[in-house]
Structure 1
Amino acid sequence: MYLLTAQQDPYVTAGHADDLAAALLAKGVSVTTETVPGSQSGGHLLTDVTKPKTLAWIRAHTSSPAPPAHQSADPPLAVHPNHRRTVPNDAPPAARLFLRPTAETPIETTHAYGEHARQQLDAYYQPGSQPQPALIVVHGGHWYEGDKQEWAATARWFAGQGYATFSINYRLNTDAPWPAQRDDVNSAITWIRQNATTFAIDPNRIVMLGSSAGGHLAAMAGTHANGTDLLRGVVALSPVADPNLGYTTGQTEGATAAQVKLRDHATLLTRCSPDPSSASCTSQWTDTTAKHHASTGDTPMYLIHSQQDFVPATHSTQLCEALTQAHVPCTTETTTGSHHGGALFQVPGLRDKVLTWLKAHD
């Protein structure tokens, strides 16, 4: 294991890495630790200095003979790295689930929709004379991590189903507090609409797919003002529709590592712990909760969880109740198992159900 920290990281001190390294070494596990100057945290630790070192370590620990020509280089689903993480990632499983059914290859380009380094999107689209619908994909990662590239295979698959697909990044909670993340998603929607001709899309036929924290942002986009002014439909996989609920779940005895992480990063997102005595803090937490924004004219939604999802379906059932009261169509579904976020696409038939729902609403 390679553990990289910064000396003045304000969120995760180097002591975390030291304790983990000591425990791993005691078990005979090879560990490399490095502490660099500065106060970077998370993905910001990857600088021009640390990137080559990180890449060299990864290559040294992943080099292996190429698989025979008749075998797929993708790992079997059962041993995909995402499934071994203590804290689940929201990204989809192995790319083989999203192999395109045609030989056509979409155009792939990257664009900035704002001035911040995180305000970028990847576009996957087929040129054509007829405007096509657009799908915006919003990654998750506790608002703290994650990247648009994690959803590249999914984006290519949807591009093969007739959607110009846009996988977006947004400012993380280490970059800016709420509501910067919602603002970025709305800015990305506006940018895509303004550039509809470039991508041969119909600006009035835009739908959104979000996962985990990205599902929260998708739900927030769909309930912001009149959601249907911007989006025709929202599909959210394991959406953290109520960060306050995520906080209280993470506070309970027996909370999982993922739920504790969600609690901590919801706190970082709002820059305060829920405090009824603080009007400004209460307002911030209320503003992050999608059900408090539900109103007539919002975007229809399809919200999906698994039975043992660390983000329970209560997040979505409460949002759906609020939307239904506002006469907005909303559907929830709970699958078997413990899949979270993009891993829900492992559930047989679910990907096609999502596609069918999107096509009915775009």
Structure 2
Amino acid sequence: MDLHGYTRGAEVIKVAGDSPKIEMTSGIHYAQIKHARGFRQLRMSVIREAEARNRPAILYFPGGGFTSADHDKYLQMRMALAQAGFVVAAAEYRTVPDVFPAQAEDAKAAIRFLRAHAETFGIDPSRIGVMGDSAGGYMAQLAATVTGAEYERGDYLDQPSDVQAAVTLYGISDLSDIGAGLPREAAASHASPAVTEALIVNGPAFGPSLGATVQDTPEKTRAASPIGHVGPHSPPFLILHGSADRLVSPEQSAKLYRALGSHGIAARYFLVEGAGHGDSPWYQPDIIARVTRFFCETLRRGD
């Protein structure tokens, strides 16, 4: 048979460029949490170039108001970072009713897992960054600032859990005053013992526990807040917040920026004009390009 006959009437497509082949691996269990009646598996997904070798990695934590952790969201950002040559992992974590330090333990466990499996995923273990939005920004900040053996739980304890760069988008740095600077009604909700940051710190009212507000337990609240862990060990930060955010006050990001500066940490803080909390501006090319550029500057040196 003349195979050339199949070309009759066909239009020819000329392919230009060398865009990488991107692959996703999902359903990865990076940690196992023991509960009274069983175990919970914490999941992760990884997006990377098919032939990635010795690449810097970025670990994304999703927002969800401390009540959910849908780790496969924010696909535009994660795909853009993968196309820029990063191995991009995304991890779920424990939320309400689990209390701090569960969140810090999960962040550290996810980083250790990536380092332990660096060869499998084509990661350079000396170049790992973190990022997150909203409550995920809180998680990224914890991952970048918290140190100490008390937060290292689970497997791969021979691996370090430090990171070399961090991005927080409309994230939470201080659980004691998330509502500072917000309209009165929005700010008032943060004074409740039932608001999610209070549940992260003090747990729900159940049995002998009456619950508490974040103001009732200042030492516990400080310990559970990234702002309480910022120090000279912290990595470079990119901080972005929307000027029109009515859920998490922009003061949260300004406070983190000042704290980092007081320790001489390289940090850049941008207020995104007109942006709210997780709305469409955060998915636009300008924001994605700025985040990508920051990680290229901090993690791709020498590439």
TM superposition score category, shorter chain reference:
0.7 to 0.9
**How big is the shift at 1:335?**
1.1
SS at match of 1:312: coil
SS at match of 1:112: strand
Give the direction of change, closer, same or farther, for the CA distance of 1:305–1:261 in structure 2 (3 Å limit): farther
Give the direction of change, closer, same or farther, for the CA distance of 1:123–1:240 in structure 2 (3 Å limit): same
Partner of 1:169: 92
SS at match of 1:318: helix
Q: 1:183 aligns with which of 77, 99, 105?
A: 105
Partner of 1:335: 272
- Comparing 282-291 with 131-140, greater Cα deviation is found at 282-291
Partner of 1:216: 138
1:186-335 equivalences in 2 (<5 Å) = 186-225=108-147, 230-246=162-178, 253-255=184-186, 264-271=195-202, 272-276=212-216, 281-310=217-246, 311-335=248-272
TM-score by length of 2: 0.76
Aligned residue type for 2:249: P
CA–CA separation in structure 1 for the residues paired with 2:194 and 2:54: 42
CA–CA separation in structure 2 for the residues paired with 1:305 and 1:343: 13
CA–CA separation in structure 1 for the residues paired with 2:197 and 2:238: 23
SS at match of 2:93: coil
TM-score by length of 1: 0.64
Partner of 2:14: none
**How big is the shift at 1:151?**
3.0
Give the direction of change, closer, same or farther, for the CA distance of 1:299–1:235 in structure 2 (3 Å limit): same
Give the direction of change, closer, same or farther, for the CA distance of 1:353–1:286 in structure 2 (3 Å limit): same
**How big is the shift at 1:102?**
3.3
CA–CA separation in structure 1 for the residues paired with 2:215 and 2:274: 35
Offset from partner CA, 1:212-249 (integer Å, 9 cap, x none): 001011111111129x9621111111001111111566
Structure 2: runs of 5 or more not aligned = 1-17, 34-39, 149-159, 203-211
SS at match of 1:186: helix
Report percent identity of matched pairs.
Answer: 21
Is 1:138 paired with 2:61? Answer: yes
CA–CA separation in structure 2 for the residues paired with 1:113 and 1:348: 31
CA contact (8 A) 1:151 1:167 kept: no
Give the direction of change, closer, same or farther, for the CA distance of 1:232–1:171 in structure 2 (3 Å limit): same
Aligned residue type for 1:189: I
CA–CA separation in structure 2 for the residues paired with 1:103 and 1:295: 38
Aligned residue type for 1:106: E
**Which stretches of structure 1, 4 residues or more, deviate above 6 A after TM superposition?**
256-263
Give the direction of change, closer, same or farther, for the CA distance of 1:323–1:129 in structure 2 (3 Å limit): closer
Offset from partner CA, 1:262-299 (integer Å, 9 cap, x none): 971111111231345xxxx3222011222221111211
Q: 2:29 aligns with which of 112, 119, 126?
A: 112
Partner of 2:80: 157
How many residues are treated as equivalent by the alignment? Answer: 255
**How big is the shift at 1:256?**
7.3
SS at match of 1:254: helix
Offset from partner CA, 1:313-340 (integer Å, 9 cap, x none): 2111111111111111111100111332
Give the direction of change, closer, same or farther, for the CA distance of 1:222–1:262 in structure 2 (3 Å limit): farther
Give the direction of change, closer, same or farther, for the CA distance of 1:323–1:262 in structure 2 (3 Å limit): farther
CA–CA separation in structure 2 for the residues paired with 1:360 and 1:206: 13
CA RMSD between the two structures = 2.7
Aligned residue type for 1:242: D
Partner of 1:21: none
CA contact (8 A) 1:309 1:340 kept: yes
CA contact (8 A) 1:225 1:298 kept: no
The structure in which a higher percent of residues are helix is 1
CA–CA separation in structure 2 for the residues paired with 1:119 and 1:262: 27
Is 1:358 paired with 2:275? Answer: no
1:56-95 equivalences in 2 (<5 Å) = none
Aligned residue type for 1:266: E
